Structure 1
Amino acid sequence: MSRLSRNRTLLLGLGALVLGTTLTACSGAGAQDTLNRAISTRGLNVATDQRYGPHERNVLDVYAPADARNAPVVLFVHGGSWQGGDKAGHKFVGESLARAGYVTGVMNYRLAPENRYPTYVQDTAAALKWLRDHAKSFGGDPDDLFVTGHSAGAFNAVEAVDNARWLREAGVPISAVRGVIGIAGPYSYDFRQYQSRVAFPEGSTPDEVMPDRHVRPDAPPHLLLVAANDTTVHPQNGLNMEAALKRAGVPVILTVIPRVNHITIAAALARPLTFLGGTRQAVTDFIEAHRLK
């Protein structure tokens, strides 16, 4: 079987898996593995397991166009209800955004319940600091940063930028962050009713930890992507986050992606799976609209 035929078969199988399986939380490792086997990073500059902190999970992978010159720099944060997930399953995100012309970091972070809020948010800020410090070596512009994530990773991305504390403590100037992209994120919910409560300090309240309560007025523009068929993270999270950003005077676009669910909204970031929905186009359009010219 030729490589083209083999990849076509893999993608057909992936499509059946993604479209025909009900997935919970932010899982879907089988679909991710199939997709990652079907894509190639040939021609890209790839550096894996770059250490941004002392913990074993304080590592990220960088995917960059070989000819990048002052390119936007994007940090992607995976989901997993703060208790699972791994950068290795999101090779397809790094490849997709690098092919779009961006220096892309795909990070791991410390997991709950051993590591509760704000540990994983601090890791997001620390990874962004590392990516900014090393951007030029990959052809990126350290003052043209974007932060994005899916599900729990979207929470991390939004909280890391919108709460004034985290970037300040990490040493990242807010002016360097050009935009934030949240994909199906749980930004505004009462975690005490759900199993994900183990990701937050005992006795804490939504007012203390939810990103929609922490919006700084100088936050950069936001794109909030909501899956029309999401039964894992309620769309009200996006609406509440949008309202909080507007109250603070922060530019925000909320877009509902038709036909996709909590998993396929992220899968549609992959170049071979854009037929699932408009996630990749929405993300690249936002970056192009807000990048340094």
Structure 2
Amino acid sequence: MTAAPDRRRPRPARTRPLRLLLPAAGLVALGLTLNACSPANAQNTLNRVVSTAGLRVQQDVRYGPDARNLMDVYAPQGARRAPTVLFIHGGSWESGDKEGYRFVGESLARAGYVTGVMNYRLAPTHRYPAYVQDAAQALKTLRTQAAALGGDPDNLFVMGHSAGGFNAAELVDNERWLREVNVPVSAVRGVIGVAGPYSYDFRDFPSARAFPVGGDPDQIMPDRHVRRDAPPHLLLTAARDTVVHPQNALNMEAALKAAGISAVRTELPGLDHVTIIAAVARPLTWLGGTRQAVLDFIEAHRLR
């Protein structure tokens, strides 16, 4: 099977100036530059304007022995049996950090969900499946600790952006990984992939560094691993994405539906590979519909 490519390395892009209005003593205008080549700048700016005041935040929760086996957990005050979300960052499996995604934890916690934002071991030192196994261990730890934070251990959602979307889908859809950590698939209510590369031939791209030497995409890509008892999936793509080809989501959707799994694929207009995740931030929902699509999906599939 010939998979559609994931354009892991974006072409040099023009910066796109964005204006953010925040309530303070008056209306304060902040200039944000979201550049597909340097998403860390956008994340750092977002984190500076997002407050976690009033939330319960546990930083550097350890889920494994490696220095990067840490996650931050964000929870609403007074939560009881709330949906519990594990978020996995992108970065071509070679970069990225939970610190850059505080805005995701804050946004989902404000919506009423206990949310873990994890780090994982990075390629090329740690290649597939190391980072997927890290996600499995993080989900196990989050599930174990969910009740103490007001979350429901059997009301789990796994969400990832870009490379993290691959990790999320592979973690849940390949029956091996949850079985290895004794997390029942029935505890996972849904998978949310945001611009994920689920179906491509990594041998043609620099991201080959994240996979075993001589590895076969047919043995690795999540769309080849769909279990028939998988939970529903939400596959979000950005209309202006020049990093991950939309065929990835089309192939993943087809594989899920062939296995009888509910899958909703939604293309969000006006967004690119960076702004599709930036739009999860509450101050940036005007960018596009990412946050609302995620919340609607969780509300539709959560345990009551």
TM-score, structure 2 as length reference: 0.91
Secondary structure of 2:103's partner?
helix
TM-superposed CA distance for 1:7, in Å, is 8.4
Q: Residues of 1 paired with 2:292 and 2:225: CA distance? A: 29
Give runs of aligned pairs for residues 194-209 of structure 1, distance below 5 A.
194-209=205-220
> Quick check: 1:151–1:186 contact (8 Å CA) kept in 2?
yes
* AA in 2 matched with 1:117: Y
Match of 1:183 in 2: 194
Higher relative contact order (CA 8 A, sep 6+): 2
Structure 2 residues not aligned, in runs of 5+: 1-21
TM-superposed CA distance for 1:5, in Å, is 6.0
TM-superposed CA distance for 1:208, in Å, is 1.1
Q: Residues of 1 paired with 2:27 and 2:92: CA distance? A: 30
Q: Deviations over 1:43-94 (max 9, x none)?
A: 0000000000000000000000011000000000000000000000000000
Q: Residues of 2 paired with 1:7 and 1:104: CA distance? A: 30
Matched, 1:152 2:172: no
Q: Residues of 2 paired with 1:13 and 1:60: CA distance? A: 30
Structure with bigger helix share is 1
TM-superposed CA distance for 1:166, in Å, is 0.1
Change in Cα spacing, 1:3 to 1:281, as seen in structure 2 (3 Å) is closer
Secondary structure of 2:28's partner?
helix
Secondary structure of 2:31's partner?
helix
Change in Cα spacing, 1:288 to 1:33, as seen in structure 2 (3 Å) is same
Match of 1:277 in 2: 288
Q: Residues of 2 paired with 1:152 and 1:6: CA distance? A: 39
Match of 1:84 in 2: 95
2:240 maps to which of 221, 229, 239: 229
Q: Residues of 2 paired with 1:186 and 1:179: CA distance? A: 18
TM-superposed CA distance for 1:3, in Å, is 8.4
Q: Residues of 1 paired with 2:25 and 2:90: CA distance? A: 31
Give runs of aligned pairs for residues 234-273 of structure 1, distance below 5 A.
234-273=245-284
* AA in 1 matched with 2:187: A
Give runs of aligned pairs for residues 90-239 of structure 1, distance below 5 A.
90-239=101-250
Q: CA RMSD in A?
A: 1.3
Match of 1:13 in 2: 31
Q: Residues of 2 paired with 1:125 and 1:211: CA distance? A: 15
* AA in 1 matched with 2:84: V
Secondary structure of 2:214's partner?
coil
Q: Residues of 1 paired with 2:78 and 2:46: CA distance? A: 25
> Quick check: 1:87–1:107 contact (8 Å CA) kept in 2?
yes
Match of 2:24 in 1: 4
* AA in 2 matched with 1:88: E
Secondary structure of 1:232's partner?
coil
TM-score, structure 1 as length reference: 0.95
* AA in 2 matched with 1:66: Q
Q: Deviations over 1:4-46 (max 9, x none)?
A: 269833xx312xx02xx3x23xx41111111100010000000
Match of 2:79 in 1: 68
TM-superposed CA distance for 1:170, in Å, is 1.1
> Quick check: 1:79–1:152 contact (8 Å CA) kept in 2?
yes
Q: Residues of 1 paired with 2:303 and 2:27: CA distance? A: 36
Structure with bigger strand share is 2
Q: Residues of 1 paired with 2:294 and 2:240: CA distance? A: 19
| Number of residue pairs matched by the alignment | 283
Structure 1 residues not aligned, in runs of 5+: none
Q: Deviations over 1:118-171 (max 9, x none)?
A: 000000011000000000110000000000000000000000000000000011
Q: Residues of 1 paired with 2:284 and 2:269: CA distance? A: 14
Matched, 1:37 2:45: no
